[in-house]
Amino acid sequence: MDSIKENCGIAGIFRNDRAAEILFLSLFSLQHRGQESAGIIAGKDNYKFYGGKGLVSEVFTPEIIKNLVGNYGIGHVRYSTTGSTSPKNIQPFLIEYRGEIFAIAHNGNITNSRLLRKKLESQGSIFQTTMDSEIILHLFVRSRGSSIREKLANALKNLKGAFSILFFSKDVIVAARDPNGFRPLCIGRLGNSFIVASETCAFDLVGAKYLRDVEPGEMVILSDSGIESYIWAENTKKAHCIFEFIYFARPDSYIFTKSVYLTRKNLGKNLAKESNLTGDIVIPVPDSGSIAAIGFSQEKKIPFELGVIRNHYVGRTFIQPVQKMREKGVRIKLNPVVSVVKNREIVVIEDSIVRGTTCRNRIKSLRDAGAKRIFLGITCPPIIFPCYYGIDFPSKDELIANRMTIAEIREFLGLDGLHYLSLEGMLDAMMLPARDFCTACFTGKYPVKPDFAFNKFQWEKKNGCDS
Ligand code: SF4
């Protein structure tokens, strides 16, 4: 994987005296979903918020956690896909309205945000941030309804695109998902408390039990009355982001009710079944290619070796904004094991190729370490189209598979062989029906058409696709 920005991670807990501590641990385990900033709001009779730029462990000290007094709250880790990296954009985002506090933590990308913002501004709304998430709170305070449930449902009905959200108000937390369920959101139980998080790995760390997912188009209300479910969307059609399984989610998580580990292993097995890649050893690009490489190795009966070692003390490559820095960063982060790869024919397993520059450096470093022949297996089809649902792929022109044929990519990367898993092979690896997934970045078939305030002609011209 080279230089894809991830989306965000969210967590919430209701009625637990250790609310801030549990949220801290939950966000810590969701750190892979966003490393730019972290924030927690906790409430009891009043509310306390703290957020900052950096990793969860850098933002929160034991003293800060202790001061976040409360028995319910929500938290967020962020990698911006919309809005700038300004500290103002740290979530949860909160507003005070008629003496009450409302806060929101959002994972996803609202595709009609520009139009909504323009409309709200023309009606007098004053925005404090550049985030699409702020729109939800503006819509909420303007919405009709006599309860939080009604007001929030009416607000959400204006939105298009991807949104898994946690909403915080006095003595209530609401978890809701868009009608397509693009991003994951799971509910768990911790003693007498309920916990909600993007992925179940957050539950494991605090000892909570996974109960179920918040369904697409569902709203789950946690209050002193217990847990209440409400379907707010009139039409739902699942379009889970398949990239969550390929790359984003942690392998020890369940998302969309299925094990990420087992799905990733299936991807490797299917790659082995449909490709003629072979060699003396199979090596993963750690960590994202590791589990698929095990599946590939077992299916092909080729020994699995760790031919590249990752330095875990280097930030993710895409944190570095400049291409040159990113390339240097890759060499610092991953180092080939000469004793494993020298004079060997190797099959390298990687989850995806985006720009191709990072991948090219990795192949070169394996060649420099003495690998005789290098074959590369990718556990998804070529990425040709941008994502509008919360994953920050580079522009269409920067995507290598959009500019080059597979033969040209193989040559550019300096490979002896290259195989991308087919769309069918990828979907077959999922333990859910193919119709439940969004695959737009591979196919150009967008489940929800983005509304960028440009006309249909411009949209089709920009993407060269149907939608
Ligand atoms: Fe996921 Fe790709 Fe769909 Fe974006 S376009 S939601 S990355 S599958």
What single-letter amino acid sits at 401? A
CA distance 109 to 162: 5
- Write the DSSP string, 59-119: H--HHHHHHS--SEEEEEEE--SSS-S-GGG-SSEEEEETTEEEEEEEEEEETTHHHHHHH
Smallest CA-to-CA distance from 107 within 16, 27, 212, 221 is with 27
Q: Which residues line ligand 1 (CB under 6 A)?
A: 182, 241-243, 387, 389, 391, 438-441
Q: Which residue has the tokens 């969701």?
A: 30
The pLDDT profile of the chain, 467 residues, written as one tens digit per residue, is 555 555 799 999 999 999 999 999 999 999 999 999 999 999 988 899 999 999 999 999 999 999 999 999 999 999 865 556 667 889 999 999 999 999 999 999 999 998 999 999 999 989 988 888 899 999 999 999 999 999 999 999 999 999 999 999 999 999 999 999 999 999 999 999 999 999 999 999 999 999 999 999 999 999 999 999 999 999 999 999 999 999 999 999 999 999 999 999 999 999 999 999 999 999 999 988 999 999 999 999 999 999 999 887 765 444 444 555 555 656 678 899 999 999 999 999 999 999 999 899 999 999 999 999 999 999 999 999 999 998 888 788 889 999 999 999 999 999 999 999 999 999 999 999 999 999 999 999 999 987 754 444 444 444 444 33
Asked if residue 91 lies in contact with residue 106, where contact means CB atoms within 8 angstroms, the answer is yes
Residue 8 appears among annotated catalytic residues = yes
Q: Measuring from atom 2 of ligand 1, which residue has the nearest CA?
A: 441
CA distance 370 to 359: 17
Q: Measuring from atom 1 of ligand 1, which residue has the nearest CA?
A: 241
- From 439, 445, 449, 467, mutation site for ligand 1 pocket: most ligand atoms within 8 A of C-beta: 439
CA distance 347 to 98: 62
- From 4, 241, 465, 467, mutation site for ligand 1 pocket: most ligand atoms within 8 A of C-beta: 241
Say how many Å lie between the CA of residue 445 and the centre of ligand 1: 10
| Cβ count near 322 (within 10 Å) | 9
C-beta pairs of 147-152 under 8 Å, 24+ apart in sequence: 148/172, 148/174, 148/221, 149/174, 149/219, 149/221, 149/228, 149/230, 152/176, 152/219, 152/232
CA distance 421 to 440: 16
- Write the DSSP string, 310-366: E-TTS--GGG--SHHHHHHHHHHHEEE-HHHHTT-EEEEEES--SSSHHHHHHHHHH
455 CB-near residues (< 8 Å, 6+ apart): none
Say how many Å lie between the CA of residue 180 and the centre of ligand 1: 12
Smallest CA-to-CA distance from 302 within 327, 282, 275, 272 is with 282
DSSP 8-state code for residue 420: E
What single-letter amino acid sits at 152? L
| Cβ count near 18 (within 10 Å) | 16
- Which sign, positive or negative, has the C-alpha torsion 178, 157, 5, 31? negative
Q: ∠ CA 7-198-86 to the nearest 5 degrees?
A: 35
CA distance 259 to 282: 23
Say how many Å lie between the CA of residue 309 and the centre of ligand 1: 29
Say how many Å lie between the CA of residue 243 and the centre of ligand 1: 6
| Cβ count near 456 (within 10 Å) | 9
What single-letter amino acid sits at 206? V
